[in-house]
Amino acid sequence: MSRGALWRLFYRASLGDHAYKFLFEPGPPDEAVALDCETTGLDPRKDDILAIAAVRIRGNRILTSERFEAIVKPEETEASADSIKVHRILKRDVADALPMRRVLPDLLRFIGGRPLVGYYIAFDVRMLDKYAMDLIEVKLPNPQIEVSSLYYDRKYGNAPPGTAFDLRFDSLLKDLGIPPLAAHDALNDAVMAAMAWLALRDLQARGVRIPRERAGQGPPPPTGG
């Protein structure tokens, strides 16, 4: 039994509120949820979620008409001026928002047992886990689908040693021909991740690789995000 499955078992047993048992049931087949959080910073231990958006994906369709969107009121920390510049959620907007403990139940019901799709989705899930531990004493058990690793596989999976990687989100979008929506808006980021996943999944199914630029004309060194 793998380590992940053990943890799942453990959390399932220790689930504080059994109304959330559905998180451990598999979601409807062929469905997933793309998710993105805007946060006050990059440290899950100290920072908070400011906005969160999720869209369901069914088959090859992104159901933007049934999306989940919320602006979250931070519990303790003030959003630093820098992070406000990044995602433009002003203190005024946050004032009308709900605290995470009120947002999370609806979000969890929206997600259900579906896999979570995102760009560096592990970070978003770590942020959510912080609140989930408080609320229902578990971490999110949903399988995670990492768009950047699918991209890595399609583009650099067969690369010779020494190849410079570029896994930036805008490089990924550019390679896939996905028109960039206004970035650092949780819903747009979730939708773009969903588009990228559908495209990458199809490339994978057809065994199509993304061509790499020739050495010497390559992109700048990887930044990782």
Partner 1 sequence: MPSGFDASNPPFDRLTQQEIGELQASLDIAYVAPGEPVVRPGQKAEHLHVIIKGSVEVREGETLNALLGPGDSFDSRAIVHGSAGEDFVAAGETLCYLVPRALVLDLIARNPAFAAFFYSEVSAKLDAFSGARRQEGMESVLRARVREASRGPALMIEGSASIAEAAQRMQDASINAAYVRDGGRIGVVTGMNLAKAVLLKRLPHETPVRHVSHFDVIAVDADAFIFEALLLMTRHDKRRVAVRQGAEFTGFLEDIHILGLVAGNSQLIPGRIDRARSVEDLTGPAQDIQGQVERLHRQGLKVEQIAEITSDLNRRLFVKLFELVAPPAIREHGCLMIMGSEGRGEQTVRTDQDNGLLLDGPVEEAELARFRDAFGAALAGFGFPPCPGRVMVGNPLWSQPLAGLVRQLRLWIMERTPEAAMNLAIFFDAVPVTGRAGLLAEAKQAMVEAMRGERALIARFANLVESFQTPALGVLSTLMERVGVASDAIDIKKAGIFPIVHGMRALAMDKGILETSTAGRIAALTDQRAFEPEFGRELLSALRVFMEYRLRAQLEAVRRGTLEREALIQPGALSTADRDILRDSLRIVRQFRELLRNRYALASFG
Contact positions toward partner 1, by CB under 8 A? 60-65, 176-179, 181-182, 185, 187-188, 191, 194-195, 198-199, 202-203, 205-206
Give the CB-side neighbour count of residue 16, counting CA atoms within 13 A: 9
Could you tell me the smallest distance in angstroms from the CB atom of residue 118 to partner 1?
16
The pairing of beta strand 31-39 with beta strand 116-118:
parallel
Residue with smaller CB distance to partner 1, 23 or 70: 70
CB 163 within 8 A of CB 175: no
Which residues make Cβ contacts (< 8 Å) with residue 212, sequence separation at least 6? 155, 156, 159, 163, 218
Shortest distance in whole angstroms from residue 137 CB to partner 1:
35
Minimum distance, C-beta of residue 66 to partner 1, in the bound complex (Å): 8
Tokens of 140: 């999110």
Closer of 126 and 201 to partner 1 (Cβ): 201
Min CB(56)–partner 1 separation in Å: 10
Minimum separation from the CB atom of position 149 to partner 1 (A): 19
As measured in angstroms, the least distance from the Cβ of 190 to partner 1 is 11
Phi, psi of 150 (to 5 degrees): -60, -40
Q: What CA–CA distance (Å, rounded) separates 80 from 4? A: 35
